[in-house]
Amino acid sequence: MTSDALMNNYGKRPLSLVKGEGAWVWDDNGKRYLDALAGIAVCGLGHAHPAVTEAIHRQSENLVHCSNLYNIPAQERLAEQLKTVSGMTNMFFSNSGAEANEAAIKLARLHGHSKNIDVPTIIVMENSFHGRTLATLTATGNRKVHAGFKPLVRGFARAPFDDLEAVHAIAANNDSIAAILVEPIQGEGGIRIPDDDYLIQLRNICDANDWLLMLDEIQTANGRTGSFFHYQQHNIRPDVVTIAKGLGNGMPIGTCLASGPASQLMQPGSHGSTFGGNPVACAAAEATIATIDKDKLCQRADELGTLLLEQFRDTLTGCDMVKEIRGRGLMIGIELTEPCSELVGQAADAGLLINVTANNVIRLLPPLIFSDDQARQLISTLVPLIKAFSPEG
């Protein structure tokens, strides 16, 4: 079905998906696809996971919504669970990633004003992605995302990604900086992985200048890169971290987590959301985190990701079209030398869902429950398509 009653912002959508189970989805013609995208890093436990379905069912039988005017037990349980997993101390719940980042941006402004900075400014990176609201699209380092939406929001300064000198230079010349907002690995930007000591050094710069280190882990967290949060692989703790995507395994929920002074900046009335921290979304997230822990899915993402990277590197050596293969856990990018968005349709024809981002990077974000067999099928379907795509192939 194709309805013209929708705005045209997503362009033409090629498939109508109507059912899912684990790493499989079916379209309205009954054709089956191996899902190596998981709704863009959302359904980490796969589709229709029984623990999440059961949590949604149970909560929706009792109370779907009651407002943040009241205590919401499922929200408080989720906050405690996230506290244990993250080492952060205080949470704000939103419905999406962009809204979690909006909360972070507001924390940076409160932090700046507490130091009498008139125009608190956040350092953001080139090639980044932080969302589609006005503040988060301004933070995003991509002209296509800005196009048509000026005037943008004040209070952002831009540095190249993975460039510490640039951040030092801004520190030396701008006394309005309140925070740095950065993805530990750029997702939409093409699975770009910074130098190993980048996050640690950013932590040091923030400490030296009394800036907040704010990590956008909306794509990298929830087990995807081999630990629940990516920062845990670098032995640092941010002041603020945002998550969403995989948190509710498909239920819309995001969180802005804070620790230290940043966790005390919000006061009654300073922020809110009608639906944020809704009982059903929180129950789904609770079940998702418990399952990631119980089934050791962070470890699984780490091991399977390492194996997939090796196998892609082995099978694609000598393919001139392939510029670089990189990834952490089950966040994998295969950069080609040419734009390659046609591969998405070719893969779907072959029964495989993938994505291409930043024009020429094949992005793979399979569910964390991907089996060894499914990994083999991913390789055996995708590699020939990439080889055929190469003019030399």
Among 97, 194, 238, 366, binds ligand PLP (CB under 6 A): 97
Residue 218 contacts ligand PLP per CB under 6 A:
yes
Of 230, 226, 233, residue with least CA distance to 305: 226
> Which string of x and - marks every residue 99-138 that binds ligand PLP (by CB under 6 A)?
--x---------------------------xxx-------
* Alpha-carbon radius of gyration of the chain: 21
Residue 187 contacts ligand PLP per CB under 6 A:
yes
Please state whether the peptide bond connecting residue 238 to the residue before it is cis, i.e. omega within 30 degrees of 0.
Answer: no
Residue placing its CB nearer to ligand PLP in the complex, 23 or 125: 125
Residue 224 contacts ligand PLP per CB under 6 A:
no
Residue placing its CB nearer to ligand PLP in the complex, 98 or 304: 98
Query: Phi-psi category of 115—alpha, beta or left, where left has phi over 0 and alpha has psi -120 to 50?
Result: alpha
Among 110, 137, 240, 244, binds ligand PLP (CB under 6 A): 244
Residue 219 contacts ligand PLP per CB under 6 A:
yes
Grouping H, G, I as helix, E, B as strand and the rest as coil, residue 84 is: helix
Residue listed under structure tokens 């029984």: 50
∠ at Cα 147 (141, 148), nearest 5°?
145
Residue 145 contacts ligand PLP per CB under 6 A:
no
CB of 131: closest distance to ligand PLP in angstroms?
4
Residue 150 CB neighbour total at 10 angstroms: 7
Residue placing its CB nearer to ligand PLP in the complex, 215 or 319: 215
Residue placing its CB nearer to ligand PLP in the complex, 187 or 238: 187
Tokens encoding 242: 């945002």
Residue 257 CB neighbour total at 10 angstroms: 31
Grouping H, G, I as helix, E, B as strand and the rest as coil, residue 99 is: helix
Residue 363 contacts ligand PLP per CB under 6 A:
no
> Which string of x and - marks every residue 288-327 that binds ligand PLP (by CB under 6 A)?
----------------------------------------
CB of 93: closest distance to ligand PLP in angstroms?
13
Grouping H, G, I as helix, E, B as strand and the rest as coil, residue 276 is: coil
Stretch that binds ligand PLP, among 23-31, 43-51, 92-100, 149-157 (CB under 6 A): 92-100
Say if residues 216 and 181 touch (Cβ distance below 8 Å): yes
Strand 254-258 and strand 240-243: the pairing is antiparallel
Instruction: Kindly state the DSSP code that residue 173 receives in the 8-state scheme.
Output: H
**Which residue number places its CB atom closest to ligand PLP?**
97
Say if residues 74 and 282 touch (Cβ distance below 8 Å): yes
CB of 355: closest distance to ligand PLP in angstroms?
12
Strand 90-94 and strand 254-258: the pairing is antiparallel
Residue placing its CB nearer to ligand PLP in the complex, 242 or 291: 242
Count of alpha carbons within 13 Å of 389, Cβ hemisphere only? 24
> Which string of x and - marks every residue 364-393 that binds ligand PLP (by CB under 6 A)?
------------------------------
Residue 98 contacts ligand PLP per CB under 6 A:
yes
Enumerate binding residues for ligand PLP (CB under 6 A): 96-98, 101, 129-131, 183, 187-188, 216, 218-219, 244-245
